[in-house]
């Protein structure tokens, strides 16, 4: 299978800020690894035999449920312990497993920022596919500049599913995605922007990025 290239993200702290930029909370982050690129159509085709018409584009129109099953498929392909088990639509994360998984929302933002306190880690035209580019579909990964962790396309191109529930007090069906997409304006393509949707839903600008816990 095509190699899944991961970047190691060192332990640290994610500072959550309010709209005025003032700190409103600190989340500790343990060391982990995350994909240097979003999962591509090529990887999905190799894992489950679907798609692949544009091998180097991010795989999109994937539900959250399909995303976690792709994580397990990648784990099994690599001979790793699958992270998730399923009972109907109830998904359990086995935190001691060494396989691929979705990043948490805090891990995703910490990795995306790469030490930057700004909403974007560089000029959007240089680092992200957005509405500024006038494109109508996801673009090949790696064509824009990476952040300081060596991660490409964390902003723009496609949003990326995270593990987290949007609002645990309301519903555990709505899951978070982050990062902005190819048709979004600058206000949405930010390290701190959150969106969410039903775990069963699919969207033309939402894909995934694999992560792994440190062993």
Q: Does the reported pTM lie above 0.85? A: yes
Is 1 contained in some domain? no
Can you spell out the DSSP letters for 35-65? ESSPPBHHHHHHHHS---SSTTSBP-S--HH
Q: Please give the pLDDT value at position 190.
A: 96
Q: Please give the pLDDT value at position 23.
A: 56
| CATH classification at residue 99 | 3.90.1580.10
Is 199 contained in some domain? yes
Residue-wise pLDDT tens digits, 167-196: 988 877 999 999 999 999 999 999 999 999
Neighbour order of strands in the sheet with 32-35 = 6-9, 32-35, 211-213
Domain that holds residue 33: 6-213
Residue-wise pLDDT tens digits, 95-154: 999 999 999 999 999 999 999 989 999 999 999 999 999 999 999 999 999 999 999 999
Which residues, in sequence order, are CB contacts of 80 under 8 Å at separation 6+? 97, 98, 99, 100
What's the longest Cα–Cα distance across the chain?
Answer: 47
The percent of residues in the chain predicted with pLDDT above 70, rounded, is 96
The Cβ of residue 192 has, within 10 Å, a number of other Cβ atoms equal to 14
Residue-wise pLDDT tens digits, 57-69: 999 999 999 999 9
Read off the pLDDT of each residue in 31-44 and give the average, rounded to a whole number. 97
**pLDDT exceeds cutoff 80 at 52:** no
Bridging pattern class, strands 206-207 and 159-167: parallel
Angle at 130 (CA atoms; ends 41, 13), nearest 5 degrees: 85
**pLDDT exceeds cutoff 80 at 19:** no
Is 44 contained in some domain? yes
Is 205 contained in some domain? yes
Residue 76 backbone phi and psi in degrees, to 5: -65, -40
Is 100 contained in some domain? yes
What's the total number of domains in the chain? 1
The answer for 88, left when phi > 0, alpha when psi is -120 to 50, beta otherwise, is left
The per-residue pLDDT of the chain, averaged, comes to 94
Choice between 161 and 3, residue whose per-residue pLDDT is larger: 161
Residue 131 backbone phi and psi in degrees, to 5: -60, -25
Q: Please give the pLDDT value at position 25.
A: 84
**Which token pair is 125?**
């035209």
């Amino acid at each position: 299978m095509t190699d899944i290239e991961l970047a190691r993200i060192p332990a640290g702290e994610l500072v959550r800020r309010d709209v005025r930029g003032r700190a409103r909370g600190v989340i500790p982050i343990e060391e982990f690894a995350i994909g240097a690129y979003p999962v591509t159509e090529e990887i999905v085709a190799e894992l489950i035999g679907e798609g692949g018409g544009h091998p180097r584009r991010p795989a999109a129109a994937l539900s959250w449920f399909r995303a976690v099953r792709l994580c397990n498929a990648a784990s099994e392909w690599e001979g790793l312990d699958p992270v998730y088990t399923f009972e109907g639509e109830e998904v359990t994360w086995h935190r001691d497993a060494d396989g691929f998984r979705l990043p948490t929302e805090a891990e995703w933002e910490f990795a995306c920022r790469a030490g930057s306190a700004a909403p974007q880690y560089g000029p959007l035209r240089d680092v992200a596919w957005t509405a500024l580019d006038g494109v109508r579909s996801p673009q090949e990964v790696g064509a824009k500049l990476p952040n300081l962790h060596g991660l490409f396309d964390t902003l723009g191109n496609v949003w990326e599913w995270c593990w987290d529930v949007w609002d645990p007090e309301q519903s555990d069906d709505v899951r978070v995605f982050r990062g902005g997409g190819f048709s979004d304006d600058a206000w949405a393509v930010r390290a701190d922007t959150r969106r969410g949707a039903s775990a069963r839903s699919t969207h033309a600008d939402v894909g995934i990025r694999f992560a792994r816990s440190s062993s």
